Amino acid sequence: MNLTVEQALRKALAAHRAGKLDDAERLYRVILKLQPSHADANHNLGLIIASANNFEAALPFLETALKINPRVEQFWLSFIRICLTLKKFERAEVVIEQAKKNGITGKKLYALIAELNSISTLSNVSIKGPSQEQLRSLVKSFQNGQLIEAEKLAKSITQDYPANKIAWKVLGAVLKQTGKMSDSLVACQKSVLLAPRDAETHYNLGNTLLGLGKFDEAEASFKKAITLNPDYTAAYSNLGYILRKLDRLEEAKQNFSKVMEFEPQHAGAHYNLAVTLQDLGEFQEAETCYRRTIELAPENAEAHSNLGVLLKESGRLEEAETSYVQAIALRPNYAEAHSNLGNTLKQMGKLEQAEASFLKAITLEPRLAEAHNNLGLTLQELGRLAEARASYIKALALKPDYAAAHRHLTTVKKFEVKDEQYLKMDQLIHDKALSEDQRCHINFGLAKACEDLGEYAQAFAYYYHGNAERKKLLRYDIAQDIYLFKQIESHHPQIFEYQLKLESVETNLVPIFIVGMPRSGTTLVEQIISSHAKVTGAGELPFVDRFGGQLATGATKTDNITLLNFRECYLKKLQNVSQGNSVVSDKMPQNFRYLGLIATAFPEAKVIHVKRDPSATCWANYKQYFTSNDLGFCYSLSDIINYYNLYQDLMRFWQKLQVKPLYDLNYELLTTNQEEETKRLIDYLGLDWDESCLSPENNSRSVTTASNTQIRQKIYQNSSRQWEKYRPFLRGALDNFD
């Protein structure tokens, strides 16, 4: 029975897979008699002939298959493999170039290229080259970490045989590992000259240039390595590192993503991508990558610590604390983790514990400028301003270009002259290498200095540029808040429908909510009432927004159960900071957004609405650098004005609905008629009079807000007029409030 070509091919392939090579060969030859241009038959017959070590006879069949169908990757790979086996290296090089031109890429091809780059040197040994034994000893010494021996052998071979590629390549890598960077550079450059098409030589050169801080040249070398081997994951990784250092974060992100594409289980790639995403502000994606890193490499202390930083920035302080504790458990002497833990403890209000963490970090690493700076911030919040100033000065002594520490130091000193710090900041602001974040800090620092010196035009210019940079970094758009306020108003009827009754809930704590615009005087008001023996000032607590934000906007279902859950979660947090008192203040100004929810869930609560001159309020926000990322509206005069109008409209909405009796407190009246206004305030709170409330500057509690220096002074009566010094530069921006 005569077989068709298709039938013969099926039988041949079955015999080939079953290892019946004689039957397969007979069938392939039958096919080629019927159809000499059959690509698969030519290729497969070539493989069978090669399997019998008859490589020369196999080549014509493999070459014919290639000519018939050059789009099949395996045809190229098989032909190149036989060329290498026959030591036809020049022909293999030609075929590789032809394969690339035909669109053939991938790990298998580049593995053959790498093999060609090494085998060709080893196999073509002549009387003018080292013996194979010498080269094997060299490579073995290097791979086993015997660097002294490897350096000795490599130098001997390169001296005797200056054109040997392998010896120069190994020598460059050895010298880099032993810290002899300049010598390594010479060896790596020689290696690239001798083997310009070897991806690894370019990679090694890139590593040495990276170690020398020559980022631009290193970038070019890694890119060349990738051009020669598009699957070179280590080159993508190192290129990504350089791009991140050069602040080209989107490009770095692409390179780290490429590594993960090739090696999904590569913990280092997930970590590097996480750091880059964090720098880009893509926090959710960064968190996912950190957690994946920890799954793949749970011993990675840096991943735990950086995850802690991310969690802290998103307000998840307890989770952040846990991450830092894990990092420290893995590496007890990890100074940065102790410092990061201190930052979180500080934000949690645990200032004594925070101070201890920073001191531990400094003990472990006395030159860690960040720990000195963070200790300064903690001491500043504790009111120990002289010690805070000393810590900032120490941080700057260790790291003179530390932009954030420069800004922090300006907040605890008054400039009388353009001193050494001023001159350093002035030098830094002209440094083109400064990042946007660093430039932002320096602009705010210089603005404060110029304001102290009475140079208001220059101060305004610095405020303007600092604010523009901060807004850009935060990617703020006023449309976000316009939408939020609309959602809160439209959903309020559903919340009001489930209003809790005082008699239906347990109440051991009485919250006092101090609300208003940021920088409207809420810190002063809390300082006054927390001077009372029966009141604890808890500062700006994030818990109304955290536990109730989605309720207020309708993002989650509203009913008695969810309202009670919100109430219980909030009161549990309040209890933790109550210090044994039953009356606790929460001075998060922006809780004004949630007064409808507060009135519904806390019928026993007191609400103080602090109002200050609108122009003074808006200017005070504009000139302030806030560490919180949630106040993006502050960094543009038009955004601040729009936000202030949103605030006014929402407050009118609450008052029109009479959701809860509010105590409207005028800041200007409080500062000019302190005793009378303070007594009215304490009476509203239902507390007995306490004379300490008239001396808030003597209140020793910690203050974590932007007012933590001025609150240590006696009440200043003319602060609401300070903005007028900038009126000539504002072009009427703050003149039209109703």
Token pair for 617 = 């309020």
pLDDT confidence bin for 84, thresholds 50/70/90: confident
Burial (CB < 10 A; 0-12, 13-18, 19+), residue 418, is: middle
Of 16-25, 37-46, 397-406, least confident by mean pLDDT is: 16-25
At 717 the pLDDT is 59
Token pair for 584 = 């606790």
pLDDT confidence bin for 139, thresholds 50/70/90: confident
Q: How many residues does the chain have?
A: 738
- Residue among 58, 61, 21, 55 at smallest CA distance from 38: 61
Give the whole-angstrom CA distance, residue 18 versus residue 726.
Answer: 89
Instruction: Give me the domains of the chain, ranges plus CATH numbers.
Output: 5-120 (1.25.40.10), 146-230 (1.25.40.10), 404-474 (no CATH), 478-729 (3.40.50.300)
Three-state SS at 554: coil
Give the whole-angstrom CA distance, residue 184 versus residue 162.
Answer: 16
User: Which is higher by pLDDT, 144 or 488?
Assistant: 488
Give the whole-angstrom CA distance, residue 363 versus residue 341.
Answer: 15
Of 399-403, 429-433, 711-715, least confident by mean pLDDT is: 711-715
Of 18-32, 210-224, 666-680, 703-717, least confident by mean pLDDT is: 703-717
pLDDT averaged over the chain? 90
Cβ neighbour number for residue 103 with a 10 Å cutoff? 9
Reported as a single tens digit per residue, the pLDDT across 608-617 is: 999 999 999 9
Q: Is the pLDDT of residue 567 over 70?
A: yes
Residues 188 and 202: beta-carbon distance below 8 Å: no
Q: Is the pLDDT of residue 125 over 70?
A: no
- Residue among 461, 440, 484, 441 at smallest CA distance from 630: 484
pLDDT confidence bin for 711, thresholds 50/70/90: very low
At 126 the pLDDT is 43
Reported as a single tens digit per residue, the pLDDT across 682-710 is: 999 999 999 999 988 877 655 554 444 55
Token pair for 293 = 């890193």
485's CB contacts (< 8 A; 6+ apart) are: 593, 646, 649, 650
CB-based burial, 156-179: b 16+ in 10 Å, e otherwise: ebbeebeebbbbbbbbbbbbbbee
Q: Is the pTM of this model over 0.75?
A: no
Token pair for 522 = 């809420």
Tell me the C-alpha to C-alpha distance, in Å, between residue 478 and each of 436, 551, 590, 635, 654.
21, 22, 15, 11, 22
Mean pLDDT of 83-96: 83
Give the whole-angstrom CA distance, residue 90 versus residue 232.
Answer: 24
Provide DSSP, 462-487: HHHHHHHHHHHHHT--HHHHHHHHHH
Mean pLDDT of 513-534: 95
Cβ neighbour number for residue 721 with a 10 Å cutoff? 12
Find the helix or strand (DSSP H, E) in which 333 lies: none
Q: Is the pLDDT of residue 128 over 70?
A: no
Helix, strand, coil abundance in the chain, percent, nearest 5? 70, 5, 30
Q: What SS3 string covers 357-416? A: HHHHHHHHCCCCHHHHHHHHHHHHHCCCHHHHHHHHHHHHHHCCCCHHHHHHHHCCCCCC
At 706 the pLDDT is 47
Reported as a single tens digit per residue, the pLDDT across 464-485 is: 999 999 999 999 999 999 999 9
Burial (CB < 10 A; 0-12, 13-18, 19+), residue 118, is: middle
Under DSSP, the state recorded for 500 is P
Give the whole-angstrom CA distance, residue 188 versus residue 137.
Answer: 20
Reported as a single tens digit per residue, the pLDDT across 579-597 is: 999 999 999 999 999 999 9
Residues 492 and 561: beta-carbon distance below 8 Å: no
Name the phi and psi angles at 583, rounded to 5: -115, 120
Percent of the chain with pLDDT over 90: 67
User: Which is higher by pLDDT, 325 or 1?
Assistant: 325
Q: Is the pLDDT of residue 57 over 70?
A: yes
At 708 the pLDDT is 45
Mean pLDDT of 343-369: 95
User: Which is higher by pLDDT, 533 or 661?
Assistant: 533
- Residue among 364, 419, 414 at smallest CA distance from 396: 419
Under DSSP, the state recorded for 592 is G
Give the whole-angstrom CA distance, residue 726 versus residue 637.
Answer: 13
Angle at 598 between CA 593 and CA 599, to 5 degrees: 115
